[in-house]
Amino acid sequence: MTLEQFERNITIAESKLRNLEGQQESLNLQYKENLQSIQDAEALSDVFLKASTLLQLVSEETRERSIGKIESIVTQAIQEVYGDKALRFKIEFENKRSAVSVEFKLWDENLKQYLNIVRCEAGGIKNIIAAILRLVVIDLHHPKIEGPVILDEIGVHISQEHRARFGKFLQQYSKLTGRQIILVSHLEKVNEFADKKIRLRRIGTDCEVSYDG
């Protein structure tokens, strides 16, 4: 083998290695995205389960009022955050012999069809539904659950253009219910409407704390 052939083989091998590294990076990114989707779906399912359990435990009269309140608040949140009055959150509660069926749906008036909430990736809408539904379930719980609610990095999967409106809705909901919401987030847009802000900034091995409001 001549030196020229050897160098050519090295160049080909390096090119193949770069291609493999690129494929590996792409697969790693895809894996992380799929893992996040699974975690989001599990979190949403957990909220749905808690809401379903709550609705099954209350009387029929209380259930009807609760369903109406949940549908109204979640629908208002979706419409205000996305600026789309065609979207409506629906709960279908049905007694089937000895079993009870509770389904949570998202209706699109423009498309005249229900959207799959778990598979819906548009702008982080399932994350918004999960967050608001969690707040409503806590407020409807009996006996009453006192104290603040902590939401940790809840806006990270919400599209950037919708984050400020989501933060504003949380502020409005907090004032409406009288419940303090402690929002932990690195996103300035989500925190924009907070009444009080505590900022933590790491400087070397130290942590700087500042207070606003």
CATH numbers and ranges of domains, the chain: 3-212 (3.40.50.300)
pLDDT at 86: 94
Instruction: Tell me how far apart the alpha carbons of residues 194 and 160 are, in angstroms, rounded to a whole number.
Output: 17
pLDDT by residue for the chain (213 residues), tens digit each? Answer: 676 776 777 787 788 877 877 777 777 777 666 666 666 666 667 777 777 777 776 677 788 888 888 899 999 999 999 888 999 999 887 766 666 678 888 999 999 999 888 777 666 888 888 888 889 888 888 788 899 999 888 777 788 888 889 989 999 999 989 999 998 888 888 888 888 888 888 888 888 888 876
| Residue closest to 129 by CA, chosen among 154, 98, 92 | 154
φ, ψ dihedrals at 120, nearest 5°: -75, 115
